[in-house]
Chains A and B, each alone.
Chain A
Amino acid sequence: KAGVTQTPRYLIKTRGQQVTLSCSPISGHRSVSWYQQTPGQGLQFLFEYFSETQRNKGNFPGRFSGRQFSNSRSEMNVSTLELGDSALYLCASKNRENEKLFFGSGTQLSVL
């Protein structure tokens, strides 16, 4: 079974731009979560999608949004990029509630 796949692997943007990141979960997994990882704040939860619906949301501004498609693939979007948005964005999928998360390799976003 293929693991969680995230694209692109690296991204460079400038302040004020927007960006879309993509995640394909493990086949059969319907839950997709997104995390932001920075050296200063560690791993922070952004949101979780299940069956195309946002089920949980972390404490991030509205510039961060996401969606999930009928095939469970998910995208997250960040609008009006700020320097502080530079981070590794990780996607994770799981099969059922209260089960372990499987992570992708992440998208490294640099905002200049």
Chain B
Amino acid sequence: GESVGLHLPTLSVQEGDNSIINCAYSNSASDYFIWYKQESGKGPQFIIDIRSNMDKRQGQRVTVLLNKTVKHLSLQIAATQPGDSAVYFCAENYRGYGQNFVFGPGTRLSVLP
């Protein structure tokens, strides 16, 4: 497979603080990126997406930043809430293998009361 063996990084934040989750992607030709949230026992849920012709996109309480120069993606969550606790994945539309999405290893976000 394309993912490497992984140890899931964890980010712990205080409720009400802002969270920043980072992701490095692999293919400079990838032109579409998505952030997903996965809660225990559920499938990944779409949060926000961005295309390569943009470097920033905002949603409700979330912002995605794309830096194509260093192949880096970040997800910012404002005023983090307990319900935000989950594993977050970035995904790139990996044009090297047709149109399938390749997922990052994920980051576990824990929101402290």
Contacts and interface: CB of A to CB of B under 8 A. Distances in A.
Interface residues on A, range: 20 to 34
Interface stretch (A14-22, A56-64, A71-79): A56-64
A44 B97 contact: no
Interface string B1-44: 11101101000000000000000000000011010100001111
B101 A101 contact: yes
Contact of A98 (B1, B32, B89): B32
Please indicate which of the listed interface residues B2, B44, B105 has the most CB atoms of chain A within 10 Å of its own CB.
Answer: B44
B98 A55 contact: yes
Contact of A105 (B42, B97, B103): B42
Would you call the interface of chain B mostly helix, strand, loop, or mixed?
A: loop
B67 interface: no
A106 B3 contact: no
B100 A56 contact: yes
B5 A40 contact: yes
Interface string A99-112: 01111111000000
A41 B41 contact: no
Nearest to B98: A56
B1 A60 contact: yes
Interface string A32-47: 0101100111111100
Given A43-B3, A48-B100, A104 B43 contact: yes
Contact of B99 (A48, A58, A92): A48
B99 A98 contact: yes
A90 interface: yes
A103 B98 contact: no
A9 B89 CA distance: 22
29 contacts: A33-B100, A33-B101, A36-B1, A41-B3, A41-B5, A42-B6, A42-B89, A42-B103, A42-B104, A43-B3, A43-B89, A43-B106, A44-B1, A44-B3, A45-B1, A45-B97, A48-B100, A55-B98, A56-B99, A58-B2, A58-B97, A58-B100, A98-B99, A101-B46, A103-B36, A103-B45, A104-B43, A106-B42, A106-B43
